[in-house]
Chains A and B, each alone.
Chain A
Amino acid sequence: QSALTQPASVSGSPGQSITISCTGTISDIGSYDLVSWYQHHAGKAPKLLIYEVIKRPSGISDRFSGSKSGNTASLTISGLQAEDEADYYCSSYAGITTYVVFGGGTKLAVL
């Protein structure tokens, strides 16, 4: 069982927007603005989409955005494209003992 809870799957049509939630606790998401989001196509290297809750690395489309409220972080993908079909993972720093936790992943289907 993952430390962070994500929906197993979400879906949307091309051009639409979707939001993936990532629920943690006061010990991780709720205490640190160190939430990251990764896109993973099976067999390939995961790609960093969002770091420090809202920041985008250079080269990442502004269709990807992050936010946080309390113990829950969210990733929003706007203007869905077929190439966005992938698994998405959140992670959060969780302090000196646990260090880092990942979500269980959300499979995005672009219908």
Chain B
Amino acid sequence: EVQLVESGGGLVQPGKSLRLSCAASGFIFDDFAMHWVRHSPGKGLEWVSSISWNSGSVYYADSVKGRFTISRDNAKNSLYLQMNSLRPEDAAFYYCAKDSAPHPGYSNTWGSWGQGTLVTVSS
């Protein structure tokens, strides 16, 4: 059974940093692209970032480009999101999701999601 477990969320002041992790199990992690999506009440789901199976291709939403960095460690079956210069509008539940293909954009089929980790940005 595919399992994705996010961690690392919490309360952080504006301008500070946070690193989210997503521990994957139940599938061959390095066969698939992975994604981060966030959800804040009143704003809906928002795609944040994506990474190919071998980290060769990464994508970011304009709203986080230059501040967030996605990465993965296939040896540890883990996905990461380094979030710097956090803003109040970055506050949300952050979900990791598994693609059905090795490269983002091949399928846009994100069949497994974690339960999310909450990021709160406030002074």
Q: A40-B39, A44-B115 are in contact. Are A105 and B109 (CB under 8 A)?
A: no
Which A residues between 46 and 105 are near B, CB-CB below 8 angstroms? Answer: 46-48, 51-52, 57, 87, 89, 91-93, 96, 99-105
Residues of B within 8 A of A93 (CB): 105, 108
Nearest Cβ distance between residue A42 and chain B, in whole angstroms?
Answer: 8
Partner of A34, one of B50, B59, B108: B108
Residues of B within 8 A of A40 (CB): 39, 45
In the complex, residue of chain B having the shortest beta-carbon distance to the beta carbon of A89? B45
Residues of A within 8 A of B44 (CB): 2, 87, 89, 102-105
Write out, one digit per residue, whether chain B residues 84-123 have a CB within 8 A of any chain A CB (1) or not (0).
0000000001010100100011011111011110000000
Which A residues between 12 and 67 are near B, CB-CB below 8 angstroms? Answer: 32, 34-36, 38, 40, 42-48, 51-52, 57
Please name the 7 residue pairs, one residue from A and one from B, whose CB atoms are nearest each other, closest first. A105-B44, A34-B108, A45-B113, A51-B109, A93-B108, A99-B59, A48-B111
Which residues of B approach A to under 8 Å, CB–CB?
37, 39, 41, 44-47, 50, 59, 93, 95, 97, 100, 104-105, 107-111, 113-116
